Chains A and B, each alone.
Chain A
Amino acid sequence: MIIVTCPNCGARNVSEFRFGGELTQRPAPDAMARESWVDYLYMRTNVLGVQREWWYHDACGSWFIAERHTKTHKVLKTYSYEAEA
């Protein structure tokens, strides 16, 4: 079973959460370079190892960042996006 720790509510079963994909950096809204938008929209790093990714907690409605290993499924760390920035 995967346990995810919501920064708001604490450790819960993964069934309470939704996965939001790996963390990507959106290009500046006025950036015109096609490649950077193609990369942002479609291309993924899909790492084998620890991945920084978005999760959403259904119970409290918050989006946050988790560092999770993609093979062992162990969630190493969770924090709010603001805490990272």
Chain B
Amino acid sequence: MTQLIRQGMNGRHSLKRMWHDHDLKDSYDVVIVGGGVHGLSTAYYLAKNHDITNVAVLEKRYIGGGNSGRNTTIIRSNYLTPEGVAFYDESVKLYENLSLDLDYNVLFSQRGHLTLAHTDAAMRTMRWRAEVNQLQGVDSTVVYPDDLARMCPQLNLRDDVRYPILGALYHAPGGIVRHNPVVWGYARGADQRGVHIHQNTEVTGIETENGKVTAVQTTRGRIKTGIVVNQTAGFCTLISDMVGVRLPITSHQLQACVTEALKPFLDIVIVSGSLHSYVSQADRGELVMGAEIDPYTSYSYDSTLGFMESLCQNILELLPFLSRVKILRQWAGVCDMTPDFSPIMGFTPVDGFLVDVGWGTYGFKAGPVSGKRMAELIATQKTPDLIAPFRLSRFEEGKLVGEKGAASVGH
């Protein structure tokens, strides 16, 4: 406290830079493409768990400026497939200990998470999801309008609306986190252990020899390396094209917005699949709201009025009293969608070229577990059981993981 007052008075503070700029070295053991939460957590766990520190993270703009800074920070594990539940459950557990692990407060608030059902079909899916979750030890239950009136009295529970609320899936461990501390915490942890984080460094080419990765070309020079990890979310096709690996991915925009700051009044995350909307109140008081992906493929960060109109319409049906609240800003991220709404992780036909892509609308909540398991895969050169279902070759084998519990997917 005295330190705080002294530094406040003299205008100097003792905070040190959390990561440092480095010259690009001629070679690295591992080159990670993409400086978001996936890339940085992979670098962090490589250094921390496996003592692999000769690692470069290449980011074309600034770290956390892509989808890690554009998502709505909802963390949950109430998915539908056993593979998905096991995977995201580990992620939630990592998030629970993340502030301690990184020595950086990520403000994880496990306030509970409601997925509303507006049709009998949706109620049936909620029961199904609750059963799958409970079997795997994940806390999810089906709740009905009586319970909802108690848990979330803000909700419009009238039945004379377009989509009356019939019930919900309540997921107690779900919640929200602040995205910047997650990215910065991982970056600092990786930097402290010797990882080089290179911002404003765009990958322009990847060299291979006899089907094996040998080097990466960047806007700042060439790096020799045997392992390249593609963790670039919406832009992953462009990186994979450099080595000729075809991906079953299309890039779509996902838009979101925040309102002006309000006094705290909403202490639960509300999601509606049928209305393609989700809303939570951030610790700064803003309501963070998002929708489903735009239907056509896109690499654009521009947001649209059409999105704003339809989202507001849907949110007002759930929370009509917000009608006079102003929107503060809106933005878009580029999501890499797969045919089965599950990610693609692991080896590719090109030796030394790994992918951790296809994260669509659910990448941020999986950041820690993806980093941990990708680091394990790189260190051991074996695919961990937890991520084996998400291998690229599943499409060839016809073993898709149909994850219908993905964000705002109608089912």
Taking Cβ atoms with an 8 Å cutoff, the residues of A that contact B are 1, 14-15, 18-19, 21-22, 34-35, 38-39, 41-46, 48, 51, 53, 68, 70-73
Contacts and interface: CB of A to CB of B under 8 A. Distances in A.
B250 interface: yes
- 4 tightest Cβ-Cβ pairs between the two chains A and B: A42-B248, A19-B296, A46-B237, A43-B246
B7 interface: no
B298 interface: yes
Interface stretch (B62-70, B168-176, B206-214, B299-307): B299-307
B238 interface: yes
A44 B300 contact: no
A44 B396 contact: no
B396 A34 contact: yes
A15 B297 contact: no
Contacts of B300: 70-73
Contact of A71 (B246, B299, B306): B299
Nearest to B295: A19
Given A1-B305, A46-B249, A68-B296, 14 more contacts: A1-B304, A19-B296, A22-B297, A43-B395, A44-B237, A44-B248, A44-B250, A46-B250, A46-B251, A48-B238, A53-B297, A70-B251, A72-B300, A73-B296
Given A15-B306, A38-B396, A46 B247 contact: yes
Interface of B: 235, 237-238, 246-251, 295-300, 302, 304-306, 339, 395-396
Pick from B246, B247, B297, B300 the residue with the most CB of A within 10 Å. B297
Contacts of A39: 246
Contacts of A34: 396
Contacts, number: 60
Contacts of B297: 19, 21-22, 46, 51, 53, 70
A19 to B, nearest CB: 4
Given A15-B306, A38-B395, A38-B396, A44 B247 contact: yes
Nearest to B302: A73
Given A1-B305, A15-B306, A34-B396, A43 B248 contact: yes
Interface secondary structure of B, over-half rule: mixed
A80 to B, nearest CB: 19
Nearest to A35: B396
Nearest to A34: B396
A76 B99 CA distance: 50
A85 to B, nearest CB: 23
A39 B247 CA distance: 9
Nearest to A66: B296
Contacts of A72: 300
A42 to B, nearest CB: 4
Nearest to A38: B396
Pick from A18, A46, A51 the residue with the most CB of B within 10 Å. A46
Contacts of B247: 43-44, 46
Contacts of B339: 42
Contacts of B246: 39, 43
Nearest to B310: A15
Nearest to B235: A48
Contacts of B302: 73
A44 B252 CA distance: 13
Pick from B238, B298, B395 the residue with the most CB of A within 10 Å. B298
A74 to B, nearest CB: 11
Contacts of B238: 48
A49 B33 CA distance: 22
Nearest to B397: A38
A35 B246 CA distance: 11
A51 B250 CA distance: 12
A20 to B, nearest CB: 9
6 contacts: A43-B247, A43-B248, A44-B250, A46-B251, A48-B235, A73-B302
Contacts of A45: 237
Nearest to A44: B250
A68 to B, nearest CB: 8
Contacts of A38: 395-396
Contacts of A14: 296, 306
Contacts of A51: 297
A42 B250 contact: no
Contacts of A71: 298-300
A53 B251 CA distance: 14
